[in-house]
Amino acid sequence: MSEYNKITTGTITVDTGGVAQFVTLPYKPVRFSMLNKTKWGTSASAQVVRAVGFSDDAAGTAYYESTEGSSSSALLSTKITSNGFTFVEAGTPSYGPVIALASTYVTQASAALVTTASAHGLAVGDVVLLYGTTAMLQIAGIEYTVQTVGSSTTFTIDVNSSGFASAATAGFMKKVLYPDLYLPGNRYITAISSSGVNTVVTTSVNNQFAVGQEVQFTIPSQWGMVQLDQLKGYVISVTSNTATVNIDSSAFSAFAYPTSAVAARGMTFPQITPIGDQNSGGLAPGGVLTSLTIPGAYQTNTRYGVIIGSTLLANTSDVWEFEAIYPDQITNQ
C-alpha cells in the first residue's frame, strides 16, 4: 500500500429501487466497489450482492455478482455496459463523443428539428452543443436543451428557425455532460417578447433562475432590441427555459436573429446573467426586516464521484457498503 492513496468508505441506502444514485466524493476514483449488506446471503431470489467498476471503462460498465434466484448459494458473475458505474469529474466542461449531423440537419421550423447521421442517444432535458455548421450559422457555437426526441436520430431545440434563409447543412453535435457546473449561471437568449409591462426571455438551455433574482441583459446590436442592452431587472416568474422580468419592453425594437451572412462576419450571442448573491425584502408586519437570499451568478456546482446505475440498485432501502480508491501509483504491465 502506497503512502498517499486516497480511500473513501461509507454506506448507501437505496432511496428508490431501480433509480440511479450519485455518490459525492472528494475526488474521481479509479475503482469503486460495493457490497449489499441487506441482501448478502439471500438465495430465495436473484439479487445483486456485490459490484465493482473502473474509471477507465466506458461509462455505465460494471462487474457484479448476483444470487441464482434459487435455494443454491452459488453466485453468478455478470458484466454490463449500461446502467452500471459512471465516474464523474465535473470540474471543467466535458462532452460526449462527436456525432456528425445529417446532410440537412436543422430544419426551418417554429421548433428547429435536428437530424443526426447516426443514433444520438439523447433524452429530453439533455444539453447539446451544435457547431461547425454550413448555413444557419446564427445557431452554431452554443448549447441547447433537447426539447423533444422524435427518433434515434432526431430531436428539437427551442429555436424558431422558420424565418431563416435556409436549412443548416453539415456540422456536428456533442452532448454536454455536466451543463450545470455553475448555478444558476448566465444563459444565451433565443427569443425575447413583451407581455405588457414585462419582458419574457427564452433561453437556449434550461435556466435555474429564481423569482426575485436580479438579472442583467447583454444584447449585441445584430440582434435588435438594443434598448434592453445592459438593463437590470428582477425575475417575477419562471418556467424551465423562460424567465419573465419586470422590464417594460413594449416600446423597444423587435428581437431578431441576424442573418447567416452577418453571423459569418462574427457575432456575439445575447445573454441574460444573474447578478448579486442576496436580494433584501421590505418590512414585514410588525416592522421586522425580512430578506430573501437567492443564489447569484456563478455559484459553483463542480463535483466528483460515481453514479451507481439503476441495474445495481434494484431494491428500496437496501444498504450497501462502498469503497472508493485512488492510488498514488498506477502501473500497467
- Pull the grid cell for residue 178: 455536466
pLDDT by position in tens, the chain (length 333): 567 789 999 999 999 999 999 999 999 999 999 999 999 887 667 789 999 999 999 999 999 999 876 666 678 899 999 999 999 999 888 898 999 988 778 888 889 999 999 999 999 999 999 998 888 888 889 999 999 999 999 999 999 988 887 787 788 999 999 898 888 888 999 999 998 899 999 999 999 898 988 899 999 999 999 999 999 999 999 999 999 999 999 999 999 999 888 888 888 999 999 987 654 544 444 444 445 556 677 778 889 999 999 999 999 999 999 999 999 877 776
CATH number belonging to domain 182-280: 2.40.30.180
Residue 203: how many other CB atoms lie within 10 Å: 22
List, as one string, the DSSP characters of 96-132. Answer: ---EEEEEEEE-SSSSPEEEESS-----TT-EEEEES
Torsion of CA 143, 148, 153, 157, to 10 degrees: -30
∠ Cα 179 129 189 (to 5°): 75
Residues facing residue 113 across a β-bridge: 156
Question: 313 near 26, Cβ under 8 Å?
Answer: no
Residue range 99-176 forms a domain whose CATH class is mainly beta
Phi, psi values for residue 93, rounded to 5°: -55, 130
